[in-house]
Amino acid sequence: MEFNEIEDTAGSDFKDYFINNKEDLENRKVIIDKELWYIPDFLTKEELDYIKPFCDDKTGWYLTSRSSSIRNKFIGVNYRIHPEGTICPTRGIDLSNSAIFPDETDSRYHPELWYRSEGVFDRMKVVLPITLNQDITLQSFWPLDDSDHSGAYQWHWEKSMAAELGDTEFNDFGMTAAWSIYLNEDFEDGQLEFAYKPYVIKPKAGMLISIPMTKEFTHRVTPVKNGERHTLYGTCFKDLNDREISNGETC
């Protein structure tokens, strides 16, 4: 984000924070190639410690349509447990204590470390393009089943993959960025690699990474072994009102 992109509704506290911290945060970026960059230790130990119990808790996860070896959890939602043991029973995969995909009836809370002035979201808004979608989505990669090479385990790119594969109705909803924050290191493999670039990025706890969304940066996660790979992930949009809202059928 640039200073002239800050919304008029943003408070003076954020504008002051932006002015005082933009240069320092930009200087912490390790630029790999164009918009492929990372910031080491972006999360503090206090912030990592806050997230860890959510990673360790075996309840509240839901399976994604992308892979049976990937599960997600919303932090900030008082979830309900699915009576059938999984959010998507038609996929034939059982996950005990799985959450029902949240909707407008579920109560929410705002973790202070993320939403407070000068918290995680304020730091992210300084270094990422407009406009940050302020959801806290936890994504965990299980050890990969040999039969399941779908989702983030296969080569993909974010912004226009469907369009370039021939989907004439594809809409990227004005997406401007995709990012991840790595939360742990106690697993084997699970590295980020690129199809057309010589880069291999090993996750380090606390690292924020911005991944370009074009075909040039086609990427995948190598199969995880002996542990679980935990990340926070999300996107930015030109206008948050235009983004697609996921539900229990499209998760």
Residues 64-93 have pLDDT tens digits of: 655 667 888 999 999 888 776 554 444 445
Cis peptide before 64 (omega within 30 of 0): no
Lowest mean pLDDT among 3-12, 97-106, 110-119, 177-186: 3-12
**In a domain? residue 8:** no
Whether residue 96 lies inside any domain: the answer is: no
Closest CA to 99 of 87, 90, 111, 109: 87
Choose between 80 and 108: higher pLDDT.
Answer: 108
State which H helix or E strand residue 78 sits in: none
CA atoms of 148 and 158, how far apart (whole Å): 20
Tell me the pLDDT band of 119, cut-offs 50, 70 and 90. very high
Lowest mean pLDDT across 101-110, 139-148, 225-234: 139-148
The mean pLDDT of 223-235, rounded to a whole number, is 91
What pLDDT score was predicted for residue 90?
44
pTM of the model: 0.86
For residue 92, the model assigns a pLDDT of 47
Look at residue 152 and tell me whether its pLDDT is greater than 90: no
Q: Does residue 164 lie within any of the structural domains?
A: yes
Residue 222 lies in a domain: yes
Q: Which of 130, 133, 131, 82 is nearest to 103 (CA)?
A: 82
Q: Tell me the percentage of the chain whose pLDDT exceeds 70.
A: 74
pLDDT tens-digit readout, 162-202: 555 555 454 566 788 889 999 999 999 999 999 999 999 99
Name 144's Cβ contacts closer than 8 Å, sequence gap at least 6. Answer: 69, 153, 223, 224, 225
Between 143 and 56, residue with greater pLDDT: 56
Confidence (pLDDT) at 33: 95
> What CATH number has the domain bearing residue 132?
2.60.120.620
Residue 152 sits in which domain range? Answer: 20-57+115-242
| Number of domains making up the chain | 1
**Is 109 within a domain?**
no
Tell me whether residue 49 is in a domain.
yes
Q: Which of 198, 160, 203 lies closest to 181, judged by CA?
A: 203
Tell me which DSSP letter residue 203 carries.
-
Residue 204 domain flag: yes
Rounded to a whole number, what is the largest CA-CA distance in the chain? 53
| pLDDT computed for residue 3 by the predictor | 64
Tell me if 235 is assigned to some domain: yes
